[in-house]
Amino acid sequence: MHGRPRRPDKPEDAAAADAKAAKLRDLQTQVLRNHHSRTYSKEALGLSFKLLELNPEAYTAWNYRKLAFQHNLGELSELEAIKSSIDDELRVVELALRQNPKSYGAWYHRKWLLNQKLAPVDFKREFGLLDKLLKVDARNFHGWNYRRFLAKFMGVPEEEELKYTKDKISDNFSNYSAWHNRSILLSNLLTQQRKGFESKQKIFSEEFELVTQALFTDPSDQSGWFYHLWLLAQTSSPENPQLIASWPSNGAKLSLSSVREANDKQNTPSSFSSICCYSLKEGILPIVLFFNEPVKGLTPSSVSLNSDLVVGKNIQWRPLSVTDSGHSYCWVTYLEVSNLEYCSSQQFSVEASIPNTDDIVSRSGSSYNCPVHFTFTFEPNNIDSITEDTDLIHDPISWDCSEPLPSHVKPSCIHSDQLKITNALIQEESKWHLERLSDELDLFRELPDDNSKFAKLTLARLLLACAAIKSRGSSLIERRGYCEEALGLFNDLIYLDPSHKRYYEDERSLVLMDQLTCNMESFMKYCSVQVLPNLAPLNHVQLCRLSLTCIGFVERLLWVQMLDLSHNNLRSIEGLEALQHLVCLNVSNNQISSFTALKPLTEILSLKVLDLSFNEIGTHPINTTRYICPTPFSHKVEACEAFEECQKKNINVEEFWDAILFFKHVNLVQLGFEGNAIANKENFRTLVVTLNPSIKWLDGACVH
Amino acid sequence: MADEPGGGGCSLQDYPTIDPTSFDVVLCGTGLPESVLAAACAAAGKTVLHVDPNPFYGSLFSSLPLPSLPSFLSSSSGSVPSPSSSATTLSTTSYAVVDLHRRSLYSEVETSGTVPELSRRITVDLVGPRVLYCADEGVDLLLRSGGSHHVEFKSVEGGTLLYWEGGLYPVPDSRQAIFKDTTLQLKEKNLLFRFFKLVQTHIAASSAGAEVGEGEASGKLPEEDLDLPFIEFLKKQHLSPKMRAVVLYAIAMADYGQDGAHSCEKLLTTREGIKTIALYSSSIGRFANAEGAFIYPMYGHGELPQAFCRCAAVKGALYVLRMPATALLVDEGKKRYVGTRLASGQDILCQQLILDPSYEIPSLDMPCNAPVSNSPRKVARGICIISSSVKQDSLNVLVVFPPKSLEEEQVAAVRVLQLSSNLAVCPPGMFMVYLSTPCADAFTGKKYINKAIEILFTTKASDDPEGHLEITSENNKEVKPTLIWSCVYVQEITEGTTTLSCPMPDENLDYRSILESTKKLFAEICPNDEFLPRNSAPKYADDDSDSAE
């Protein structure tokens, strides 16, 4: 059934296939004719049976039989007659399954029949059929689906089904279907707290034990590893969603201009008490909430905002980076502060709190139970000076990453708390989780090194899970050890398993980012305050030449205003959308291949300076970003004005559709795009200038 | 079924006269090799006369009712009752008559315990412990000859247990068995399966043929590894001593200790070891209804020669039981055997004469094919009747005591086969157990057989508090089975000194080596014929009998 090579057809087979096709065509026409004329005679049914026996995929024939069955049922009154007509149908399905045990239509027909509930179901026969089928192919997922259907239909206790999966695994442990069913059954039993399933810890310890036997016996078989991955996920993550970061953070003071103050007191960094918030200029104050796992259900009622201002009215929480089914790690709302009537230098305070709430739920359905409360203040002062200064950035910003950062200049706003979020959020560190993971770690370190990629990957994942738990506590040194070992493993894997190189590179990037940002001391080496002429100082983070391929741990970067990611291998900048405070971004000398990959930037209202030079935009004729980015531009976007506008200027809309959508949604002052294939394309410059009228500097040259 | 063993006392008048008096092949004795030869020769179109001094089939390979065992073990010696020489012969032709003698292969017979009631329902094998691999030559011969229609098999479903450090461990012989094993450490599991996989890749690559290409890329093991002693190869694979014992003695079925460098000649090479593993693994799952690698014929091993005899008879061979051969007829001019004189006094002429190994081949002044080895090999055998199974919930089980497991000086493995009433060899409620170990002298051989018996069984009633055997796979200690009756004896193994003689039951667990010698004999008799070709089987309506029950 599995792993058998296909043999090329022999010439005589071709002739037989032709004959079969002719016969099928003939039967199909006859059945369709009967279908249209609603002929449900015995003869007509016989024809449909012949067709289905030859080709169980003829879906229309199944539907025809359903109609016929219902039609003929009307004429039957005796239970026996009904029973025998059901039996006939069941037999047709069985014969069809003999021809193709993976026929969707046949399986559905059988379910449909049982669901009619016209006669008592002979479960013995049904389970007998299944046993036979799963003996032929233990991994036939249709069979397993039908088994789940039957078990539910008949009310078989899930404990029994669990035992069945164990039996199947004992027969052959490379049965992914059995492992999979096991994970589902266990989840259900644990949620329902059934007898014998009260202790998640006990059950999972046993499951780890079971799957480890399989993994050590044959590490090259992947079904067990999948199950192990599931167990690991159940063990390493907290059960309920948690808020892990916010912007503004607790106690933050925001203002629009702190230019003077900053210049005055440059030598005493502690006096940078307030943070310049550029978006205040637009009259908008974004509030960002970042969770440890994707959640949904943020509403004005589940997240309460109190302020001296009346803000509660138009609060709309919006997910940034949407995952499936509307869940998101990161949620934002924009406070309107433009039309405030305020007197100068007045401070407004905002108080945000999330109580225990069933509204906010994770993908697994567990609700938020970790109440959090934070306040911050802002002063929309000096509004007059700003209105004079409509464009904050006059001169092209130079990104000199070769120059070491002035170490004495510390970003004003970062407190170590901000990186970790308040201590109140740290749930009691689960001792069991850590013990379990350490046991598994010890075990897999023992697995003789036969360069099994699964073993290495699992080890790396275990290390990271341990590191994650440690970061919730305070053992940072141990944590560093875990991370470094994991990095080594990912480096090995990149060579060992080149076909999944990119995945490992992404994982490695995440570990690297984690390591760099996890504690203040190491992170500070990459942080500075950039003081630009005529500009408020910007919190600057420089992560260059690190071979990053993707961005992670953005919750630790929410305060960043100027971010230099140049000279990496970034293919995606997914995650940056959470940096609602970002003004300048340098992603030059990376591997970004299309504007589709830059979609997250369109969510950042304050972004003014963007350096895209020396990427691969326009190099690849086929845009694959769509498949690797969770939130690319979609083709569904309705033709907007921008398209029309471009068409007027003879810009090829089909070629530049993603560029048009991108520049339509950003409001840049500076853009660098030299060194991209697209830069040489006709009309591209026109496009940028047309859609982005505020642009002043293009590739270092003044536009106006 | 063997009903009247040892009954050779027929008077002359009782012997039938055989017509014709000349055959292509005459075989005396109906042991397995003779019976296979008879079937093969008959299938090759030869005229065959097959006689046996006993009133039952099987000779040294037969299964006897328990009451007949003692007399068989003691009485098959002595000279054949010789009728008055040439009384009925027309000695017109010029050939000499050399009297034949039979020798006893068995010695040191020692029985203890009380023979249980219903002892006639107990059948004992003379060749035990013995099984067939589902995929071995014996099974193929049965299928090819059609003999499979006359025998039914059941599997040794309880698998193999290895005696190690005072306990019995189930032998993990497959991927699933390794997975399910509860006694192995994770690392051991990993290494053991890795070894199996290595071997399997090699086997697959070797059987795929040479066109795939040689060298390591094809998955084949390098030649220098194949020439290595198997034990060294296993060490190279980092297998622990216990795992090595599993592979060497419970899967590759090595007879002698492989650890000592002194016993070089008995060292298995990797090539040989892998050959057996290949057979073992292809045996598992060959028949859908056979669990494990081994099967055992219902009613005992005596059924096998009978099955081949029937095939021979179907192809025209003539059978006469209760007919000893008393003398050889030698063509003095040519210095070769030309026939045999039967107990009836009748002289039968033949092209080829085959005698079962209990006949002493008189050494004539003619060239011997092989030098007679001065010290014959010996095998100590034990037959026990016990009250319950050595492994809970299993009926038929193999147990291996690897060398040095009984005591430091033990050089050869002791193999034990437990059979249940589902094989119709004993009434329900008891089990038959066969033990054997190759030995240099009777004393040590019997010593180890008795030691193994002591370890496995208790002679007292089962409520004896000390009668516990640690089965480590289970948490609870199990009660040792009680020994009801036992018989320990020593059998001599001399190898065919001339082309006249067939091989004896050997010290092996299977028939491979015996059938190999038989095949060679056939090649000498019929150099131009195929050995039991596939189409030699009589046609039956359905041929699904190749599955063991």
Domains of chain A, by residue range, sit at 15-198, 243-387, 424-516, 526-702
DSSP character for B106?
E
CB-CB neighbors (< 8 A) of B238 in chain A: 448
**What's the maximum distance between 2 C-alpha atoms anywhere in chain B?**
79
Distance between A160 CA and the closest CA of chain B, angstroms: 20
Given CB atoms, is B10 within the 8 Å cutoff of chain A? Answer: no
Report the C-alpha gap between A674 and A685 in whole angstroms: 11
Q: Look at residue A262 and tell me whether its pLDDT is greater than 60.
A: no
Instruction: Return the number of other C-beta atoms located less than 10 Å from residue A70's C-beta.
Output: 11
* Best to test chain B binding among A216, A227, A441, A458 (most B CBs inside 10 Å): A216
Given CB atoms, is B460 within the 8 Å cutoff of chain A? Answer: no
- Chain CA centroid to CA A360, Å: 18
Q: Please judge whether A213 and B186 are an interchain contact, meaning their C-beta atoms are less than 8 angstroms apart.
A: yes
Q: Please judge whether A217 and B187 are an interchain contact, meaning their C-beta atoms are less than 8 angstroms apart.
A: no
Which amino acid belongs to residue A436?
R
Q: Which of A170, A212, A447 sits opposite B176 (nearest CB)?
A: A170
- A428 or A293: whose pLDDT is higher? A293
- A345 or A41: whose pLDDT is higher? A41
Given CB atoms, is B451 within the 8 Å cutoff of chain A? Answer: no
Q: Please judge whether B179 and A170 are an interchain contact, meaning their C-beta atoms are less than 8 angstroms apart.
A: yes
Q: A630-683 pLDDT, tens per residue?
A: 555 655 555 677 788 888 888 888 888 888 888 888 888 899 988 998 888 888
Q: How far is CA A631 from CA A517, A573, A580, A625, in A?
A: 25, 11, 17, 10
CB-CB neighbors (< 8 A) of A173 in chain B: 175-176, 179
Which amino acid belongs to residue B156?
V
The DSSP bridge pattern shows strands B347-355 and B22-28 to be parallel
Report the C-alpha gap between B492 and B65 in whole angstroms: 22
Cross-strand bridge partners of residue A372: A354
Instruction: Return the number of other C-beta atoms located less than 10 Å from residue A628's C-beta.
Output: 16
**Paired tokens of A96:** 């069809």
Q: What are phi and psi of A287, to 5 degrees?
A: -115, 125
Torsion angle (degrees, nearest 10) of CA B170, B173, B176, B178: 60
Report the C-alpha gap between B397 and A5 in whole angstroms: 38
Q: Please judge whether A447 and B186 are an interchain contact, meaning their C-beta atoms are less than 8 angstroms apart.
A: yes
List the beta strands (DSSP E) in A363-466: 367-368, 372-379
Q: Please judge whether A218 and B176 are an interchain contact, meaning their C-beta atoms are less than 8 angstroms apart.
A: no
* Best to test chain A binding among B190, B284, B289 (most A CBs inside 10 Å): B190
Q: Look at residue A585 and tell me whether its pLDDT is greater than 90.
A: yes
Report the C-alpha gap between B447 and B445 in whole angstroms: 5
- Is-contact B168 B471, C-beta < 8 A? yes
Q: Classify A402 as helix, strand or coil.
A: coil
Q: Please judge whether B176 and A171 are an interchain contact, meaning their C-beta atoms are less than 8 angstroms apart.
A: yes
Would you mind telling me the total number of residues written for chain A in this entry?
A: 704
Q: Please judge whether B194 and A450 are an interchain contact, meaning their C-beta atoms are less than 8 angstroms apart.
A: yes
* Segment holding A227, helix H or strand E: helix A222-236
Residue A627 has a pLDDT of 62
Q: Please judge whether A173 and B179 are an interchain contact, meaning their C-beta atoms are less than 8 angstroms apart.
A: yes
Of B259, B275, B277, the residue nearest B267 (C-alpha): B259
Which region among A21-30, A523-532, B123-132 has the lowest average model confidence (pLDDT)?
A523-532
- Is-contact A473 A240, C-beta < 8 A? no
Report the C-alpha gap between B480 and A438 in whole angstroms: 42
Given CB atoms, is B175 within the 8 Å cutoff of chain A? Answer: yes
Report the C-alpha gap between A628 and A626 in whole angstroms: 6
DSSP secondary structure of B131-177: -EETTSHHHHHHHHHTGGGT--EEE-TT-EEEEETTEEEE---SHHH
Q: How far is CA A475 from CA A429, A430, A515, in A?
A: 12, 14, 13
- Is-contact B503 B105, C-beta < 8 A? no
- How does A643-655 read in b/e, with b if 16+ C-beta sit within 10 Å? bebbeeeebebee
Closest alpha carbon within chain A to B174: A217
In chain A, the N- to C-terminal Cα span, in Å, equals 69
- Ramachandran sector of residue B420 (left: φ over 0; alpha: ψ -120 to 50; beta: rest): beta
- Is-contact B276 B111, C-beta < 8 A? no
Q: Which of A170, A172, A216 sits opposite B189 (nearest CB)?
A: A216
List the beta strands (DSSP E) in A555-666: 562-564, 584-586, 609-611
Distance between A496 CA and the closest CA of chain B, angstroms: 18
Distance between A462 CA and the closest CA of chain B, angstroms: 18
Given CB atoms, is A209 within the 8 Å cutoff of chain B? Answer: no
Q: Is the domain defined by A15-198 classed in CATH 1.10.3720.10?
A: no
- Chain CA centroid to CA A680, Å: 35
Spatial CB neighbours of A520, under 8 Å, sequence gap ≥ 6:
A414, A416, A419
Given CB atoms, is A451 within the 8 Å cutoff of chain B? Answer: no
Q: The domain at A526-702 falls in which architecture?
A: Alpha-Beta Horseshoe (3.80)
Distance between B177 CA and the closest CA of chain A, angstroms: 9
- Is-contact A352 A326, C-beta < 8 A? no
Q: Which of A217, A446, A450 sits opposite B178 (nearest CB)?
A: A217
Q: How far is CA A251 from CA A308, A334, A349, A454, in A?
A: 16, 19, 10, 45
**Span A243-387: which CATH code?**
2.60.40.3710
Q: Please judge whether A219 and B191 are an interchain contact, meaning their C-beta atoms are less than 8 angstroms apart.
A: no
Report the C-alpha gap between A225 and B232 in whole angstroms: 33
Q: How far is CA A383 from CA A334, A343, A386, A604, B55, in A?
A: 19, 10, 5, 22, 123
Of A172, A203, A227, the residue nearest B179 (C-alpha): A172
Q: What is the pLDDT along chain B (549 residues), one digit of tens a residue?
A: 444 444 444 455 578 888 888 899 999 999 999 999 999 999 888 899 999 988 899 989 999 999 888 888 886 544 455 544 444 444 455 678 888 888 888 888 888 888 888 888 899 999 989 999 999 888 988 888 888 888 999 999 888 999 988 888 899 888 888 898 888 888 888 889 989 888 888 888 887 765 545 555 567 888 888 888 888 888 888 888 889 999 999 998 888 887 765 555 578 888 888 889 989 988 888 888 888 889 999 999 999 999 999 999 998 899 999 888 888 888 776 677 888 888 888 888 888 888 888 887 766 544 444 444 456 788 999 999 998 998 888 899 999 999 988 888 888 899 999 999 999 999 998 999 999 999 888 899 999 999 999 999 988 654 444 444 544 444 445 578 989 999 999 998 876 656 678 888 888 999 998 998 888 889 888 888 888 887 655 554 344 444 443
Q: Please judge whether B179 and A450 are an interchain contact, meaning their C-beta atoms are less than 8 angstroms apart.
A: no
Report the C-alpha gap between A664 and A666 in whole angstroms: 6
The packing angle between helices A59-73 and A79-99, to 10°, is 170
Q: How many A-B residue pairs are in contact by the CB < 8 A criterion? A: 41
Radius of gyration of chain A (CA): 31
Closest alpha carbon within chain A to B180: A170
Q: Classify B253 as helix, strand or coil.
A: coil
CB-CB neighbors (< 8 A) of B179 in chain A: 170, 173, 213-214, 217-218
Given CB atoms, is B392 within the 8 Å cutoff of chain A? Answer: no
CB-CB neighbors (< 8 A) of B176 in chain A: 170-173
Given CB atoms, is B186 within the 8 Å cutoff of chain A? Answer: yes
- Chain CA centroid to CA A311, Å: 32
Given CB atoms, is B189 within the 8 Å cutoff of chain A? Answer: yes
